[in-house]
Amino acid sequence: MPRRWELTWDKTNKRWKKYYKGRQYYFPFGSCKADRAGYLQALEAWRKKKAEIDGEEARTPLSEESRRLWEAHLERLREGMERLKEEDTYHNRDAWLRAAEAVQETLRKISEGVNHPVAELMHREHLPGKPNRPLPEKPPGKPPWEDAPEDAGPEDTTIAGNVGRFLERKKEQVERGERSHGRYDALRVALESFTTFAGGHKPVESIDSQLLARWRDHLGARAASGEMSLRYAKDHLQAAKQFAGWCWEMELIEYPRILKSREFVIAVPEQTVEVFTVDEVRRLIEGAGEALRLHLLLMLNCGMQQSDIAELRHSEVDWEAGRIERKRSKTKKHKNVPKVLYQLWPETFELLKAHRSDHPELVLTNRNGSPLLVQRIVEGKVKKTDNIRSAYRRLVAKLANGDPPVKIAKPMKHLRKTAASKLGEHPEYARYAQHFLGHAPATVADRHYVRPSQEQFDKALQWLRRELLGA
């Protein structure tokens, strides 16, 4: 097999393709990229097609090629039907439709009067799984649903089209709980920007090292001008790298070598951890209503964020001992993440009992009995309803307009950082800061040999209460 491919293998649809003079051409030969005979057949077909395009007289198709083409179509349809019987999903339907379109195209060419040996097979072949029925003009077989999706059409080979496919797969990860809504939305925003820069109408094959280098330089210039932060620019570059890597894995493009370059980065200087002062913590606690005060205390006592509070289950609370045992919502599916047992402070436990909901699963809900945090994807964009953040913003505004005014500009999520940083200041309890945050153990010893002392962790939380609340 040649070291440099003249054609590109379409792994999804199992065919070779070539972009030439503004159009995409497909050659359904071979079962995989390693199928040498299939590649050579596709290459021969491409060279003939190129001769036609360039005005040269094409050679007569080989009968063996024709027979292989037809058999390949039928085999794809058979495999598609089997996959659909096992699992009726959108992707399996889509694969069946693409195979059916290929058969339709072959039949169209035959009907144009081409001297094609497949014409004889049309009168002898039978439908896969349906014997004694002559081959119809429509694609053989019928999918196990009534009508094909309206959008089932030719494959979109543009950058914009493949960004859409890529985001669809990320959306499925969100639905399976493998990716957060926030990460998905950040990826979507970054790739929309990249698509605009690269030209969404251009073929996906135009993504190469030169384009990616220009994207990096563009982001660097925007960061230098103050239009975006270095962190934001870095995230945009990472999104493009992730998309380009996916395109290569799907064999849509040649591998852009710049992806391995150490210079293909946007460096972000190490940032100082921003935390609340003790005075700010106490003013927030004193100024909050009962429900919000409980949320703030859970963040300080148990290192929670809004999603952790909104997803807290009755089964995770020991209502007799006043403890919560759980993994972080964000990393609960990670194998090495610990399940942490928190001793609740008296203030936290009393408010938790007072605001315990009647919901069958959730401990805390809003006044309507609905979850405190709801995230969903609507038309590709994340829509979020966050009751906790809204209440916090109202509190910050109330303190800013008070007498005397107290201005607090830090986001609520920094309360978790504040509690962990305070633990980190203690000569003995600093070792429990990562455990408090629910992070996976960093060393082999921590993962396999050292188990945190629950008694010492309880003492660390009581010390943290005295430091932050003065109680």
Would the pLDDT of 458 be above 80?
yes
Domain with CATH 1.10.443.10 in the chain: 278-469
Q: 184: closest CA among 373, 330, 382, 378? A: 382
Q: Is the pLDDT of residue 138 over 50?
A: no
* Residue found by looking up tokens 């251009």 in the block: 202
At 78 the pLDDT is: 66
Determine the pLDDT at residue 10. 82
- Rg (Cα) of the chain, in Å, rounded? 30
pLDDT, averaged across the chain: 81
Specify the DSSP element, H or E, that contains 381: strand 381-386
DSSP string, 424-455: HTSTTGGGGHHHHHTPPP-SHHHHHT----HH
Q: What's the confidence (pLDDT) of residue 107? A: 56
- In the chain, residues under CATH classification 1.10.150 are 159-260
Tell me how far apart the alpha carbons of residues 354 and 349 are, in angstroms, rounded to a whole number: 9
- Centre a 10 Å sphere on the Cβ of residue 266 and count the other Cβ atoms it contains: 17
Flag whether pLDDT at 117 surpasses 80. no
Torsion of CA 91, 95, 101, 105, to 10 degrees: 150
Out of 1-5, 198-202, 450-454, pick the least confident: 1-5
pLDDT score of 97: 64
CATH of 159-260, one of 1.20.58, 1.10.150, 3.40.50, 1.10.3470: 1.10.150
Average pLDDT value for residue range 324-347: 85
In this structure, are residues 340 and 436 in contact, taking their beta carbons and an 8 Å threshold?
yes
Pick the more confident residue, 384 or 318.
318
Please give the pLDDT value at position 84.
60
Please tell me the distance from the alpha carbon of residue 52 to that of residue 56, in angstroms, as a whole number: 5
| Res 155: pLDDT | 57
278-469: CATH topology: hpI Integrase; Chain A (1.10.443)
Q: Can you tell me the distance from the alpha carbon of 382 to that of 245, in angstroms, rounded to the nearest whole number?
A: 24
Residues 174-192 pLDDT 10s: 888 888 888 899 999 999 9
Q: Tens of pLDDT along 45-61?
A: 888 888 887 764 444 44
Whether the pLDDT of residue 464 is over 70: the answer is yes
Question: In this predicted structure, what is the pLDDT of residue 53?
Answer: 77
